[in-house]
Amino acid sequence: MMLFAALALSLHLSPVLPPAPNRQPQLAAGKAITALVFGSGESIWFSRSSDQGATWSPPSKIADLPKLLLGRHRGPRVVVSGETLLVSAAPAGGDLLCWRSTDAGRTWSKPAAINDQPTSAREGLQAMAADAQGRVAAAWLDDRAPGGKRLYGAFSSDAGATWSKNTLLYESPSGSICQCCHPSLVALGRGEFAVMWRNVIEGSRDLYTLRIRDRKPVSAAMKLGTGTWKLDACPMDGGGLALDRGRIVSAWRREHDIYLSAAGKPEIHIGEGQDVALAAGAGGPYAIWRSAQGIVARLPGSAAVTTLSRTGASPAVAAWPDGAVLAAWEENGSIAIRRLDRSGRGN
């Protein structure tokens, strides 16, 4: 099989369906495989690496999905659970669907609906997280009840072969959580997860987190940050979660600013921009976002911002079990991929 090699700092996967661009990359990293998914037109595409991003397989189509939702953090998600790959996506007005592969992405199952109320996940704003023992969580903005959006979840203990009944994770006392901001999930170990979403309470649109165990919330919803964002609109920007040496860390936007927050510690202002993604690698958290200067990153051990690309959008980031970190983003219709060290250089 022909492989794409990283001959420069960034590798680029050219548009698979010209003139349609490759959009909304997402990454997942396991011990033996690194997975990249993205959308193009009305199709979901997949590429894999077995050498930590040095080379990649040619993109292959997972499925055609009419009216595939892409843009503003919609689009496919991917997780690695042991030797199983799971990809989730949603069509406009439809269900949250999941595809499963047990042969490193060479073949995929037929799609299974994660939401058990038809069309309730039609917004397409969703997240997945998994551990190596086959425990998987999905969360999404749900429309099954009148009056506003609520945060729902579903869980699997067999690497996505079956899914639980849906669970209401959170509903706002003001009637609706933020209507167009994606949630984030991270696996904490021993079957526990943390979820983050943008809330709406009395006109404030701030980020909140809670912990989930045994398929239900086990903590109160906790607001992130000391400030608040009064906004009568949706910023369409949800942030990212990661587990850094046993503690939950988050990155998120408030107004025009990006903040990094660790549980029990004050927030840190790290720059201006939007669309921040987060992973915890060797030495600490890697935050990557879109700014006026392009795709930029704040890396462990430095308060400076490193520019990865002068153009681009929709950054994603993932960390391997050994702590190495990989970033991807949209760039001129292609997907740019770059492995990072702590200086921001490709390696």
Residues 85, 132: Cα–Cα separation, whole Å: 11
Burial 80-93 (b: 16+ CB within 10 A, else e): bbbbbbbbbbbbee
Query: Could you give the count of Cα atoms lying within 13 Å of 48 in the half-sphere of its Cβ?
Result: 20
Structure confidence at residue 343 (pLDDT): 52
Provide the token pair at 273: 């921009």
- Residue 152, pLDDT > 60, answer yes
- Residue 123, pLDDT > 90, answer yes
Structure confidence at residue 7 (pLDDT): 32
Structure confidence at residue 345 (pLDDT): 53
> Quick one: what percent of the chain has pLDDT higher than 90?
89
Give the pLDDT mean for 73-79.
96
Residues 133, 157: Cα–Cα separation, whole Å: 8
- Residue 134, pLDDT > 80, answer yes
Residues 313, 97: Cα–Cα separation, whole Å: 25
Question: Could you give all domains of the chain from N- to C-terminal order, each with its CATH number?
Answer: 61-238 (2.120.10.10), 245-347 (no CATH)
Backbone angles phi and psi of 88, in degrees to 5: -120, 150
How much is the mean pLDDT over the chain? Answer: 93
Backbone φ/ψ region at 106: left (φ over 0), alpha (ψ -120 to 50), beta: alpha
Give the pLDDT mean for 25-49.
96
Structure confidence at residue 13 (pLDDT): 94
Which of 70-79, 240-249, 261-270 is least confident? 261-270
Q: Which residue has the higher pLDDT, 69 or 264?
A: 69
pLDDT in tens, 285-294: 999 999 999 9
Q: What is the pTM of this model?
A: 0.94
Give the pLDDT mean for 278-285.
94
pLDDT in tens, 81-116: 999 999 999 999 899 999 999 999 999 999 999 999
Cβ contact 92:121 at 8 Å:
no
pLDDT in tens, 223-251: 999 999 999 999 999 999 999 999 999 99
Residues 196, 207: Cα–Cα separation, whole Å: 7
Q: For every residue of the chain, which 3-state class applies, written as one string?
A: CCCEECCCCCEEECCCECCECCEEEEEEECCCCEEEEEEECCEEEEEEECCCCCEECCCEEEEECCCECCECCECCEEEEECCEEEEEECECCCCCEEEEECCCCCCCCCCEECCCCCCCCCCCCEEEEECCCCCEEEEEEECCCCCCCEEEEEEECCCCCCCCCCEEEECCCCCCCCCCCCCEEEEEECCEEEEEEECCECCECCEEEEEEECCEECCCCEECCCCCCECCCCCCCCCEEEEECCEEEEEEEECCEEEEEECCCCCEEEEECEEEEEEEECCEEEEEEEECCEEEEECCCCCCCEEEECCCEEEEEEECCCCCEEEEEEECCEEEEEEECCCCCCC
Structure confidence at residue 1 (pLDDT): 29
Backbone φ/ψ region at 257: left (φ over 0), alpha (ψ -120 to 50), beta: beta
Strand-pairing partners, residue 261, are: 250
Structure confidence at residue 315 (pLDDT): 98
Sheet containing 247-254: which strands, arranged edge to edge? 240-244, 247-254, 257-262, 268-272
CA pseudo-torsion sign 91, 93, 96, 98: negative
Identify residue 32 by its one-letter amino acid code: A
